[in-house]
Structure 1
Amino acid sequence: MTRAANPRLSKDRTEDRRDQGADHGHGNSLFGPRAEMIFAIGSGITYTAGMATKYLIDSPSWIPATLFLATYVLGGFFTVRTAYETVRRGRFEVDFLMLIAAAGAAAVGKWAEGSVLLFLFSLGHALEEYAMSRAQRSIAALAELAPRTALVRRAPDRVEEVDVDSLEVGDVIVVRPNSRLSADGIVIAGTSAVDESSVTGESIPVEKQAAEDPRAALKARGPLPESQRVFAGTLNGSGVLEVMVTSRASDSMLARVIEMVRSADSQKSPTQRFIDRFQMFYVPAVILGVLAVIGYGVLALSEPFAVSFYRAMVVLVAASPCALAIATPSAVLAGVARAAQAGVLAKGGGPLESLGRVRSIAFDKTGTLTWGRPRVTDIEPATTELRERLVTTLVAVESFSDHPLAAAITRDLAPQVPVGVEETATEVNSVTGRGVTALVEGQATEIGNLTMFAELDPDGVPADVRAMVDRLHAAGRTTMIVRRTGVYLGVVGVMDTPRAEAKPVIEQLRAMGIADMVVISGDNQRVADSVAQGLGLDAAHGGLLPEDKVTKMAELRERGGAAMVGDGVNDAPAMVNSSVGIAMGASGSAVALETADVALMTDDIGRLPFAVALSRRTAAIIRQNLTVALVIVAGLVPATLIGLPIGPAVFIHEGSTLLVVANALRLLRFRRGAEHAGIEHEARPS
């Protein structure tokens, strides 16, 4: 799957985009992946130089003529190729009309006007090529999560390394410590904690243990217990696992994630769909109109062909969609540049338009609304006098473990141990799925969950201790009970805590009219509910796999535009199936960043309200620009038909282009109070 699937999926998507008439990845096949952008910039340089030598510098006439000709070659090279492909398929699009307009401008001696048309249009094509190449890399990043080989047990004493594509259901693979799993399966031997955040979004590693009857579990219908199932691409902890494969590589959870990303990648933005529909009628109409002007002048008015051709070229220059072509790219460039100044990466005009239209936002929990790592949130001693002993006991025992919960306890509680009262633990032993036992200063000590103490204490956990646990569980905490020499010292609560800026962000978004905000998370429902209630969200959906998140996003989209904010691989399918996907930057996985439409580059969710406001302004600017472009053409074409000469026509036509660009540049001065909108930020936990 990892070696074969990626090229196939990329090829399929490229063919899909060509069928839509949207393939502009020219550079990859001819001069390199950045060729079209280089050509576009080059045409801009030659055009600028041509204008300078024609109007500002006293130079021979052949110099600006040569520079404008170079602009035609550089700016029109890839546009000619695209126009040829679309015409070959029987379609006439703006690419084709731009070429005719440029040729017409040259025919009547207006090389500068034709040059700027080709420069601006080629720049728009180059931006689309860049966006498409970014999308293609998301599939490669997904595929690289799973190992390319697996260790298969062929005999009790023999393990063989094979390609993951050759794995069959029922094979037994060996998973070494701190390595990624190569297949979905059932644990049949060994114990370990597996980091499943890349697939399920679970913020805390899940303890795994062997199924009592793997063959029966494999045949049984319904989901496997969380403690027994594993997924390809997840990261094993410190133990060795043996896993019975339950699906081939092409059918794994990770493969389904890849397929969901692929199937949603080619969706177009609303404005792009409008432009596509418009140009299907506009371009042929302009071509027929120009031919009609020539025919009417020659046949009906008995004009010389040169006179009719001149009038037709004036009409063609007036009708050429220069302002229409640059209306969206100019606003996109300004909007993207302004967003970048505020630490927001937007991948083109589609996201900038779509984000401004959303009425619902779904947030992943781990790493988005929360920091993505556990912290000690509650220390509940059985009595006030036992607090110090509770803390010192926890630090003494958990300092010997590399489990994420133990690391959180050691990090957060070690500074609370008074100098001179530190204690030492020995004979520390892990009880899988339960907790840990040890001797602290020679005294028997146990730290674990309710299940562990129900097994250890025949009289049951004291009512006051159980009440502490129940209260912390209700608040979404993971709890650990501490007992030493038979005395219950108390309970500690651990949780992946919300970011300090999360609640103000929710309040600002609600004030902006975002009516429906929910949590969709791989964490359990209790934890998701706790976070949602604390932040003032409308609903929480916990225990979701990637495909479940896609279903939830589909439900939200039925109510209107819906955005997805996340940071993990498990969020990628939901992102691409949302109206706009938003990734947390610094903490986000490579897949989420490549798949998302918008990335908060500084790992700062406080920038989300600014991004929404900027998106709304960008969408408004795009609509204004399109209106201006169409109104100018609608007024200018009739004027040329009744005798407006080419000079004023070109002036008005180019003036509309400048007006559109100037309107778009207003986005560079966009302010919404401040980028952080007054939100104070909490230092990221180390």
Structure 2
Amino acid sequence: MTEKLALDLPLILPDVPDAADACVGRLQDTIKAKPGVTEVHVVPPADGPAQLCVHFDAKQLPLPRLRELVRAAGAELSGRYGHGLWAVKGITHERRARTVAETLAAIPGIVEADASATGTVRVEYDRQAIEESAILAALAKLKVTRTGVVASDDKAAHATELTHAPGDDHDHADGSKHWPGDGHDHSHGQFLGPNTELIFALTCGALLGIGWALEAFIGGFPEWLPTSLYIAAYGAGGFFTLREAIDNLKLRKFEIDTLMLVAAAGAAALGAWAEGALLLFLFSLGHALEHYAMGRAKKAIEALAELAPDVATVRRGREAVDVPVEELIVGDIVIVRPNERLPADGFVIKGSSAINQAPVTGESMPVDKVKVADAAIARAKPDMVDAASRVFAGTINGASVIEIEVTRRSNETALAKVVKMVSEAETQKSPTQRFTDKFERFFVPAVLVLAFVLLFAWVVVDEPFRDSFYRAMAVLVAASPCALAIATPSAVLSGVARAARGGVLVKGGAPLENLGSLKAIAFDKTGTLTEGRPRITDVMPTEGTSEEDLLALAVAVEALSDHPLAGAIVRDGRERLGARELPVATDLRNLIGRGVTALVGGETVWIGKAEMFGTDGIPALGDAATQAIAGLRDGGRTTMVVRRGDRDLGAIGLMDTPREAAKAALKQLHAMGITRMIMISGDHQKVAEAIAKDVGLDEAWGDLMPEDKVAAIRKLAGEDKVAMVGDGVNDAPAMANATVGIAMGAAGSDVALETADVALMADDLAHLPFAVGLSRRTRRIILQNVIVSLGVVALLVPATILGLGIGAAVAFHEGSTLLVVFNALRLLAYRDKWREERSPADGEAPQDLSLREERT
């Protein structure tokens, strides 16, 4: 017989809080290999941390032994594998990022390594084989220096927060931490500031222009003067190119920088100094402008990190003192004055105000916040605090003074996690980028062979060697796939930045591309299509039971549970019962997907779905309870049966309110070409159909247990690409099996934020059409960029073979690179047209939405 064991992941892997972490996958693989284990999967429950669920044969593997094996494997993995996400300087463009990632990945002990042109490096390494200091030393050899820690499980890294390589001139007495783009990004700063490369390129152009003017229009000057100016232009235009080429050659890499230098040197050897200087001028100018353009997309992401204030006003006894936000601790009382940004996540304990949450959730209108009804309950269960009292760091207070109690430290806020995850997303390659990378691996060697063959064209064609050499260099320059290398990363970076600015977190290029190709979307019901705030509509006791007795027993038991339906029974039940004393319930057990059981007065009490009864040794329902359930379900009610001992006490009917924005959002998704939309729910089929019809869905699949939802998503995914939309808690397994998992209300849920591929920060389905539309625009721009990149190469290679000069080839080459970058930057200006065009009757005025676009 197969049994189950559930263990909290944070206890097994204490340094890995993210259930999607690679170490979790290794842990699963390690445990699966044990004899007697049949299945291992992660289940993030609603009332606690993520859990590792192990299915095992108790005859082959006793439970105590299994516990030992799981904990030993977790301790080994937790202590063995390290993770780091660092802000760095020294990565200036996509080709350089790829070189850094490939070099790190080749080092023994490094399991995975990725780098981004925005100045982010992500590494996962085996501590038994390599230390973090050795990785930093390897980066230093690549002239890449860590300037800040975006995320790391290395305690020394968190203690120092800032590491300097020998000779680094970034010492700060206060130990402040740098982020890329915070005014300390000196990748090309050097001695003339951040625009040094551009200054050198323009200097090269000026020297070239003066030399050419002296030669062409002004006589009387010695012949050596224009040549000297051209040589000086070589020095200015080739300085950064030479430095990068030397670094690449040390790594045995033959990149475009080396090709440009070879071509310029060849031109000089042939006496064509002016043409060689023109080549270096165009290349260095294009490089500098590429860095500037990518910097714009980079800053759009880095601006997120600057939303939270540096200082918070904290109440200390009767006094209010200003302290750095890093020193805030859980439980601190923070005073927030009118129009100030909130310094931390927490809940309101005094005052009320309208708070602009657009910087974090993308909501267009300020949201009214009021103090919590019971601070003690909120303190005990901060994740269960109602949205009307929950606040986030980086949002903007309205016209009233409020006081909030801090529930998360500054590095654990929703905003901090978004910054970290967006930084990680920059390093995740999309399917198109993986394709172009593979294409380059075959294309570049083919070009080198072609250039080598052309060197010997003089043997076949009656021409001097210098002409053959010149043609070969021109082909090398023309065929270099610079634009192709930057085509996809620039679009992904801009798309991720625009999405984050609109309250949608997209974790990398793959979900960003996949989201736009979907034809089917599955939705969870509770909390997604409905408000997630069900209310009691009917109380139907059986004969011999009063309504008050039924409610009192249900409230007593459900008060021990964190399930949304339990919360509704407790809230509405207490309101109906008034001051009546409740019985004492103990020993609550959660029967996942079915209900709960507890002890009251020594008797067992069951509360749950009708389908729970008559299975697993639980007696079947009587006729009276069965008839009551049928009547409630015909009316579209969610039903909960209450039994004490062997007696059915009755049924409680609940109804959840469909979300106002859901119907309009689903209508828009239909208009955008999403041909199939399905609701999957654990509720009875009739209840599911009633809600689906109300909001405008195509299909409703009800009576599904959590494992049935997973099977349903797998079935849909086998037919076509499918997204799963849920709250990220109970829906996590189903979301993990979808092409794209989408979580709503992620700003208030750690599990939702960590388990989804796409997270809608606001608890609002209206953001979904925006995310799909942005994804489709990103896919179009990626396709345009790839076509331009390959098209220019396809035109230039035969043109240079037939005689097009190096200067013209470089001009087209660099022009195409800049074209794809600036084309990608258009995504930063993507507008949420659907929300802008919605009428006031739909809930928002168009002018309010245009203001949102201006603010963001």
TM exceeds 0.5?
yes
Q: 1:293–1:308: 8 Å Cα contact kept in structure 2? A: yes
* Corresponding residue number in structure 1 for 2:114: 24
- C-alpha change, 1:330 and 1:449, in structure 2 (3 Å) is closer
**What is the aligned residue count?**
501
Aligned to 1:50: 197
User: What do residues 316-369 of structure 1 show as CA deviations (whole Å, max 9, x unaligned)?
Assistant: 222211222222122223222222221112233322222111111223445433
Q: For the residues of structure 2 that align with 1:322 and 1:436, how far apart are their CA atoms?
A: 69
**Runs of at least 5 residues in structure 1 that lack an aligned partner in the other structure:** 85-95, 132-265, 384-388, 439-445, 455-459, 682-686
Alignment of 1:75-474 (within 5 A): 84=253, 96-104=254-262, 107=265, 108-109=276-277, 110-115=279-284, 269-297=430-458, 300-301=461-462, 303-305=464-466, 307-371=467-531, 375-380=534-539, 394=551, 398=555, 401-404=559-562, 407-412=567-572, 422-425=578-581, 427-428=583-584, 467-473=627-633
Partners of 2:550 and 2:642 within 8 A in 1:
no
**Counterparts of 1:500 and 1:476, CA distance in 2:** 19
Match of 1:479 in 2: 640
Q: Which residue of 1 aligns with 2:34?
A: none
Cα distance 1:357–1:491, how it changes in 2: closer, same or farther (>3 A)?
same
SS at match of 1:352: helix
Q: Write the deviation string for residues 624-659 of structure 1: whole angstroms up to 9, x where unpaired.
A: 111112222222222222322222222222222232
Counterpart CA distance in 2 for 1:80 and 1:648 is: 26
Contact 2:244 2:257 in 1 (8 A): no
CA–CA distance in 1 between the matches of 2:525 and 2:535?
A: 18
What is the rounded CA distance, in whole Å, between the counterparts of 1:121 and 1:76 in structure 2? 20
Specify whether residues 665 and 505 from structure 1 end up closer, same or farther in structure 2 by C-alpha distance, changes over 3 A only: same
- Work out the CA distance in 2 between the residues paired with 1:392 and 1:277: 69
Q: Deviations over 1:153-196 (max 9, x none)?
A: xxxxxxxxxxxxxxxxxxxxxxxxxxxxxxxxxxxxxxxxxxxx
- Give CA deviations for 1:481-533 in whole Å, capped at 9, x if unaligned: 799xx9x9x86423565433233322221222112222345677676556545
The superposition leaves residues 575-634 of structure 1 with CA deviations (integer Å, 9 ceiling, x where unpaired) of 454333323352675455345332212233221111111111111111111111222222
Shift in CA distance, 449/349, structure 1 to aligned 2, threshold 3 Å: closer
Alpha carbons 1:368, 1:605 under 8 Å: kept? yes
Q: Residues 424 and 603 (structure 1 numbering): CA distance in 2 closer, same or farther, change over 3 Å?
A: closer
Among residues 75, 91, 95, which one is paired with 1:3 in the alignment?
75
Q: Could you tell me which of 759, 769, 776 is aligned with 1:609?
A: 769
Distance 1:375 1:620, change over 3 A: same
User: Separation in 1 of the partners of 2:139 and 2:757?
Assistant: 21
Residue 287 of structure 1 deviates from its aligned partner by 0.9
Q: CA deviation at 1:45?
A: 4.9
CA 1:324/1:651 → structure 2, altered by over 3 Å: closer, same or farther?
A: same
Corresponding residue number in structure 1 for 2:818: 658
Tell me the residue number matched to 2:23.
none
Q: Which residue identity is paired with 1:279?
A: E
Q: Is 1:368–1:565's contact at 8 Å kept on the other side of the alignment?
A: yes
RMSD of Structure 2 on Structure 1 (CA): 5.3
The 5 A counterparts of 1:430-579 are 467-473=627-633, 475=636, 477-479=638-640, 492-494=652-654, 498-520=658-680, 531-535=691-695, 536-540=697-701, 542-545=703-706, 549-568=709-728, 571-572=731-732, 574-579=734-739
Higher relative contact order (CA 8 A, sep 6+): 1
Q: 1:282 to 1:472 in 2, by over 3 A?
A: same
CA distance in 2, matches of 1:558, 1:523: 24
Write the letter of the residue equivalent to 1:290. Answer: A
1:44-67: CA deviation from partner (whole Å, max 9, x where unpaired): 556842223543798999799579
Whole-angstrom CA distance in 1 between matches of 2:292 and 2:82: 24
Residues 587 and 598 of structure 2 are in contact (CA less than 8 Å); yes or no, is this contact kept in structure 1? yes
Q: Sort the Cα spacing of 1:398 and 1:8 in 2 relative to 1 into closer, same or farther, 3 A.
A: same
Distance 1:519 1:74, change over 3 A: farther
Alpha carbons 1:37, 1:123 under 8 Å: kept: no
Mapped to 2, the partners of 1:121 and 1:2 lie a distance apart of 43
Residues of 1 paired with 2:677 and 2:659: CA distance?
A: 17
Q: Name the residue aligned to 2:62.
A: none
Query: What secondary structure is seen at the aligned counterpart in 1 of 2:720?
Result: coil
Asked if 2 retains the 8 angstrom alpha-carbon contact of 1:362 and 1:562, the reply is: yes
Gaps of 5+ in 2: 1-72, 84-101, 116-120, 124-134, 148-179, 208-228, 266-275, 302-426, 589-595, 615-620, 845-856
- For the structure 1 residues 347 and 72, does the alpha-carbon distance in structure 2 shift closer, same or farther, using more than 3 Å as the test? farther
Please state how far the C-alpha of 1:288 moved relative to its aligned partner.
1.2
CA contact (8 A) 1:75 1:118 kept: no
Q: Deviations over 1:83-122 (max 9, x none)?
A: 75xxxxxxxxxxx543543544654444455557777599
Give 1:543 deviation, angstroms: 3.5
Secondary structure in 2 matching 1:378: strand
Residues 295 and 567 of structure 1: CA distance in aligned 2, closer, same or farther (over 3 Å): farther
Displacement of 1:27 in angstroms is 6.5
Q: Percent identity?
A: 41
CA distance in 2, matches of 1:453, 1:615: 46
* Residue aligning to 1:69: 239
Task: Say whether residues 1:584 and 2:690 are aligned partners.
Answer: no
